Amino acid sequence: MLTKVSKIDYFLIKLTIFFAFISTLLEYTFINGSFQLGATTELKLIFSIFSFVVFFRLLKRNKINFISKQNLFFLLFLLYVLISSFRGFIFTNDYYILKYLIFYIINIVTLSLLFFVGKNFAYQIISVNFFLKRILPLTVLLSPIILMTNIEIFGRISYPICYYLLIIIYKKNKSFRFYLIAIVLVSILFDITYRINIFSLLFSILLVLTHKTRLFNFIKKQNKFLFLFLPLIMIYLGTKGNNIFDSMTKMNETVVFDVKQKKNVKYLNDSRTFLYEEVIKSNLKSKGLIFGVSPAQGYETGYFDLLTKSYGKNIRLHTEVANLNIFLHHGLFGLLLFICFIFNTINNCFKKSQNKLALLTAMIISWQFFMGFLSNSWTYGIRDYFFWLILGLISSKEFLNMNDFEIKKYLNIKSND
């Protein structure tokens, strides 16, 4: 039986999702897009702090058990990340770096609380309904503005559809199925160069099409290969100069200025090869290979000369790659803790799940972990909001103990929206 949610909590949950939506718009419309808006980071910080207060309220009211064997790796990871991050204040003597460090810590804590919030299935139902019935239609209405600013925004806001596309298996309503398929197509066609989004959607489509076939069992069995070995193989190939995107396309080359070589150098869009090379070399130089260098120190770069003018030295505080950032800021030790946390969560789901939706969702989380070696740096926005929320879902005893009939029943509950 679902937990009863008060009207104020119901409203606050939806408000945090709306703020995550606005944060994504601010970041990619006003920072990376055509328009400019002052105090964007400050607004996102306010949204993140507000969400932290809401999540803490929800967890306090429901008396969530934070300390448990299942949460051990997560708590160890979070504790180490916080300790590693707070040491950054020792190295901070710049206002902008200090602002980044504060936002980084608050962002990590807020997203972490979402992991616990996601364990409550009633909150999940509210979130999926609000996202599908309010956020996505609003994004479609904003399409003309998106076209004029940054076409990648649509894919970034609709990114969680890679999780919720699985609902098609349980809901037979033709109009609902058409709606989800239409969103997927628009998300892909809006910006065909946003490959991370396309890869995620295609993997979800593959699971939907094969969940009743032998191919699904094969994909499930190969999950550990996808989870552990494929990222290592890609990193190895990347450091050897074999960029995986070379074999896919030669379009959209990006020209960046190499400070060391003092000339323009072409790199394929979405190429992460030189980022890995720079971060590894920088961590080795600063003796941060094992424990990282803290978010306040960053890494030395030879490809982003604008930052030389910003900070007075050639450093970047973070990269565009989620798991590479963990290695940069918290070293191999931090990355290993994160891998153990994700692996333990997925493995536990595979062993204890009584419904197919949990298995499918865990496989998508596994794919998202793999995508974290290519892109998806963490920030307070729609994509990471639902990543951590869904992580909580597949670690929830309430959800794992449900059978397929119960899942179908709850997914067909009419929303109060």
- Among candidate residues 362, 366, 352, 406, the one with its CA nearest the CA of residue 170: 406
At 386 the pLDDT is: 97
**What are the per-10-residue average pLDDT scores of the chain (417 residues)?**
84 96 84 55 89 93 74 93 92 83 93 94 94 95 83 91 92 87 91 88 93 80 69 63 46 45 47 76 90 88 58 75 92 93 92 92 92 86 96 94 89 53
Q: Nearest 5 degrees, angle CA 159-CA 294-CA 73?
A: 65
Whether pTM > 0.85 for this model: the answer is yes
At 258 the pLDDT is: 44
- The position carrying tokens 């972990």 is 369
Distance CA 24, CA 40 (A): 11
Distance CA 210, CA 52 (A): 39
CA distance readout (Å), 89 to 52, 77, 85, 300, 307: 22, 20, 8, 19, 20
Distance CA 258, CA 202 (A): 35
At 202 the pLDDT is: 94
